[in-house]
Structure 1
Amino acid sequence: MLDLTKIAKAMQGISQHLTLEAAASRQRLDLAQQLLVAAHAHQIELVERQQKWRDRILFSAGTPVEPLNTCIDLPIPPRVHTVIATDGSQIAPNHHEIAYCYLLNIGRVVLHYGQNRQPLLDSLPEVFYRTEDLYISRQWGIRTEEWMGYWRTASEATVLAELAVSEAGAAGGENSIQNPKSKIQNWVAPSVPTLAMVDGSLIYWFLEQLPIEARDRILPQILEAWDQLRNAGIPIMGYLSASRSSEALNFLRLEACPHKVPDCLAYCPNQLEKTPCQVLDPLRDSALWTIQLQPGQRSTLWRSSARILDLYGSHAIYFCYVHVGTEIARVEVPAWVAENSALLDQSLGLMLAQVQKGYGYPVALAEAHNQAVVRGGDRARFFALLEQQMIKAGLRNVGTSYKEARKRGSIA
């Protein structure tokens, strides 16, 4: 039980701290604007320097593919369109429950606008109970709970691709959006403009820390799903609310670098404190674009330089920031979407419409989350159903541990 009286005493002084932090943030923001203007003046030179010294730079900085002062109004979406989304939730394994197993629940949403078609709102549950499912990650030193989250990410992508392929087959396709400069051959867009969305980043940073064998069980499955989306002509987009990324601001560190070249390994080796170019920390990208963009506008398009993207093949990730009215959202798309200007504009327009319909957050993602989430009552019913199946199979002494049973009640 939370003692609010003690909490009130512990919070004394927090307002003063936040006031000082706000003043410091404003100073950093002013400096960021100055660096942005200076970097724009010789942007090409900075990009060339970044590419040349990429292997010597110790921080991840996005690469702008448009002028740094870009502010583009997003187009009005077509009246007839479709939005697809998936999200996942889980019940983690617990040795104190009646059986050691876990459940993944993938929420599925397909929303049709202007088509007089019923939406799809449901979820796909999957139970993992076999020994090879529960303990396969132990060989790589990965806890089952962590592996469950990684596998859920891959499942979300797979289910999203299945929905897209099904939708493309139902709606048919025509070459409605073509880009003569696109490297994608035999690319066909669906007759109805369609967007596939996921909550969060398309850059799976956690893969960097995984052993190769473990990573090869996750990433190829995701990339295969993205290939299916590309073949179906349905763009995929990652939507990040309250993004903490600083990839764009990290590019400005090249402008702030006091050395002739950005050779971090030579000039700033083993730096435990802030390096000379870290003049904007802990400022985030969204703070800068808040004062650069008007509602309904997007920022410069950037190519992410995350190391893990070297394994993505043709699916390099691009991102931009969009003023959706309530916040600055980070939006990520694969290269085949970013390189098709018509498809990118259409996708961003559909995304903005979703945010407006969802009162500040894409309605398709919110509904996918609601379909996926496992609440307390759902968890209890899941284990009750599991108990019934175990008893039916002839197992005895089925029940939770004494610890778990005791924690669920109180004598106070």
Structure 2
Amino acid sequence: MTSPSDKDAAASKTTQKFHKKRERILDAAAELINQSGIKGMTFVEVAKLVGLNTTSVTYYFKRKEQLAAAVLERSLTTLEGLIKQASQEPDARSRVRQLIRLHCELRANIRLNKTSPLAALTDLRALDDPHRSQLLSRYYQLFNGVEAYFPKAKNKRDQFLLSARAHILLNTMLWLPAWSIPYSISDFPRVQQRLFELFEMGLLEENQQIWQPRLLTQNDAELDNRQDGIPDQFLRAATSLINELGYRGASVERISSELNVTKGSFYHHLPTKDDLVRECFRHSYHRITLIQRDASTIEGNYWHKLSSVLATLLDIQLSSEFPLLKPTAWQPLPRELRSDIQLRTDRYAQRFSSLLIDGISDGSLRSVDPLLTAQVIIYMLNAAYDLRQQLNGISPEQAVELYASVLTRGLFA
């Protein structure tokens, strides 16, 4: 006769086995989402990675959307834990330092297979409700948690600056898996130290604290000549929708609806959605390239040149009717699109590195790690788009200066 304790032991063993297999499925799904986005994550591929058949996967998750939501929820839970742990430190500097350390430690453990991989949150907005609303609410709470590291805002200006601090810091951390790829695990102590120094002291030498950038105008003719016959309104609509909803969420139906045209009219101009997405990236990167190029020709030291680039790009992201495509939008793209886009991203990061090196050489910028700082600039621009709705009572010029100050003067200035 089986005793109650034997039954409990058997039930516990079954529960552990269920949980272990479920975690393996989540691990595989997270890897696939990071490689190809939610669209590229299928039950067939998940089953193949785990060594199960598709039916076994559906025993744990009935629908693909349910599995994707579970993977993203697990990532959010981990990130919430890091933010909460760092919040226990006594002051803002200690909290920021601890958050950077915890993220680097987590990334090292993931590389060493000591902990489960995290899925990138890029495709979160493309989920259907109720998953989308529930997870987005938790995603926004991450920023609120980081805002709480700093003193409370007393007015609208302070609140915008507080939001900018949280967005730039957290975006840099969320995209650590992407920008840290060239660094080995043994480099991570140095990475976290240099990153904290950048956030603590900013870019500027003490004698270069004046913010007087020159907003650079763009040559529309140069841009229009490179659009391959794609109407400007298609690029605008697709860029905004991809920024808001991600690659998957910016469907042909949504783009057509935004333009008030039929799907037939869309396909009259473009063979596929991917052709439009590719052109949106190419167009955004060309705009950035022209601004970087024009800055090199203006008079002044390299701080003036760099600040002019930053001010112009931030002005576009925060208030322009035609923003730039967010750099992180490439993550869920199909593989055939990603390599070229990643190459373009690397090129414009390299140009920022060159500006930084020249500024260090002429003495207008502090001695910072130019490669690491260039990546922070990219994710700073990425985060700026998300603050477009928080400009209430703040002029575009003031918003740009406040936002840029997070990097130029540091998080605690």
TM-score by structure 1 length?
0.30
Bigger Cα Rg: 1
Greater strand proportion: 1
TM-score by structure 2 length?
0.30
Greater helix proportion: 2
